[in-house]
Amino acid sequence: MLRIVTLLSTALATAPALAEMADVIELGPRPYYLIDRMVESPLKDQLAACMGQEPKRTLFSIGHRGAPMQFPEHTVESNVAAARMGAGILECDVTFTSDLELVCRHAQNDLHTTTNILATPLAETCVTPFTPADGDSPAAAECRTSELTLAEFRTLTPKMDAANRAATTVEGYLDGTAGWRTDLYAGEPTGIMTHAESIALFKSLGAKFTPELKTPSVEMPFNGFTQQDYAQKLVDEYKAAGIPASDVWLQSFNLEDIRYWIEAEPEFGAQAVYLMDEYNIDGYSPMDAATWPNTMAELKAMGINYIAPPTWMLVTTSEDDGIVPSTLALEAKDAGLKIITWTIERSGPLAAGGGWYYQSISDLTTSDGVMYELIDVLAQDVGVEGIFSDWPATVTYYASCMGLD
């Protein structure tokens, strides 16, 4: 724990210097790599003409758990990397420990894939102990933050989010990082954080905030902690840190969380972001409003100002025009809803279609060069306010080139 506290203290001590150098952003080679792979087009010419520009920090570029394409997510290092790539907004996904402290973790039950818990004595707290792969049955485990105190949580070492489901040992299970990611920056103990610590770090980096209230894996109330207590505690930690509501975009997939914030904390609720997971509904299609549980106008009438569907829900393809806005995107714009979307740079190379995030345009995703075509449609035609990315330099480059704030 001393190592983690020291690392966070060091980051907080040095990060103000980074904030003072907010106009000095390091993008690295990836944006140029993507541009080089684009087909010849006016967009490619425009992006290529910006090579050598001085990029800027932008709210359009949102660090998705930091920069987890190469750094363990929700760590000090991951978020410092995202800030150095120009992300103007950083994310802490929020869950809670057994003593009801808020911590940054993508899910309440992801410790078996995002930390070394299975290789520590705390493995005995896992609700599903490690079970090796056997024949057609994959390896399995489930470990929750809600089974640990904050002090126990702090002893864990984060790692790249991955698991080898074919493994027969804990060591093999923990060694599952995808080939297009890397363990290069996961070799030493890294900065695991509480939510309050993330606020201090992000502020020192000159970034704004988009915490996501994660759906609990346990039945609520938990130890007397209700869902509303949980939603309120999230807001209270920004108030305690003196962060203005205008700098915070609260997120949740739970519509009732959004409605609670709108009613109980209207200043924060005005920028609360409804994360859309309607794709889990049988028969749902972003191209057919008859399949939606709520129209875009109905969401707006609830007081919601921001929605955040995944990228594929906002686009489709046209034989004549290539990538174009979906029906959902057009109706959201007509209803006056602001849109944020997720997640660029999360699928590895696009030559094989891009997977889940590109499913609505998979017939066009034959090269990494399509990345900027998609970003351009999201920005110019859909009109998104910001894009989450696992490698923010890609979005920062586009926003800087196009003059987006």
Tens of pLDDT, residue by residue over 296-350, are 999 999 999 999 999 999 999 999 999 999 999 999 999 999 999 999 999 999 9
User: Is pLDDT of 8 > 80?
Assistant: no
> What is the average per-residue pLDDT within 108-136?
98
- State residue 191's pLDDT score: 84
User: Is pLDDT of 90 > 70?
Assistant: yes
Q: How far is CA 32 from the centre of its chain?
A: 23
Domains of the chain: 2-99+189-402 (3.20.20.190), 109-174 (no CATH)
CA quadruple 352, 355, 358, 359: dihedral positive or negative? positive
User: Is pLDDT of 6 > 90?
Assistant: no
- State residue 45's pLDDT score: 98
Q: Are 154 and 171 in contact (CB under 8 A)?
A: no
> What is the average per-residue pLDDT within 226-230?
98
pTM of the model: 0.95
> What is the average per-residue pLDDT within 204-210?
97
Residue type, 71: F
- Helix runs in 223-326, H state only: 227-240, 255-264, 266-269, 296-301
Q: What angle do CA 374, 61, 64 make, to 5 degrees?
A: 90
66: left (phi over 0), alpha (psi -120 to 50) or beta: left
pLDDT band at 352 (very low <50, low <70, confident <90, very high): confident
- State residue 4's pLDDT score: 46
